[in-house]
């Protein structure tokens, strides 16, 4: 018996693939403010937020930063940034 109360249960969910996990955290200047950008292992953008947030400190504790994102592997991912911004960027490789 159904009196129209409650919510209908969801049907079977599609078996979509999950997004790739973020592999790199890049701290880079963007027009005068530092932002944190997340990238997958293939350098696809996975997120962007303020580098001053607490999450950055949590993600980077115990990690050693690399300096600069001037390599050709970053060309497409960072095409909107200047060469100076890319050279001054700090790159962290995240544990997955």
Segment 54-94, tens digit of pLDDT? 999 999 999 999 989 999 999 999 999 999 999 999 999 99
> What would the pLDDT profile of 10-40 be if each residue is shown by its tens digit?
777 777 777 889 999 999 999 889 999 999 9
- Nearest-angstrom CA–CA distance, 51 and 67: 16
CA distances to 13, 29, 53, 54, 68 from 26, in Å: 34, 10, 14, 15, 9
9 band by pLDDT with thresholds 50, 70 and 90:
confident
The pTM of the whole model exceeds 0.75:
yes
How many residues make up the chain in this entry?
Answer: 96
The pLDDT, as a whole number, for residue 4 is: 63
Tokens 């993600």 correspond to 59
Report helix, strand and coil shares of the chain as percent, to nearest 5: 15, 25, 55
The pLDDT, as a whole number, for residue 5 is: 67
- Mean pLDDT score of the chain, rounded to an integer? 89
């Amino acid at each position: 018996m159904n009196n129209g109360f409650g919510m209908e249960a969801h049907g079977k969910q599609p078996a979509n693939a999950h997004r790739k996990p973020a592999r790199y955290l890049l701290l880079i200047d963007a027009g005068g403010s530092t932002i944190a950008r997340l990238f997958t292992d293939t350098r696809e953008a996975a997120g962007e937020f303020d580098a001053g947030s607490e999450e950055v400190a949590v993600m980077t504790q115990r990690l050693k930063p690399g300096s600069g994102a001037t390599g050709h592997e970053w060309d497409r991912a960072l095409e909107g940034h200047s060469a100076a911004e890319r050279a001054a960027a700090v790159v962290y490789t995240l544990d997955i």
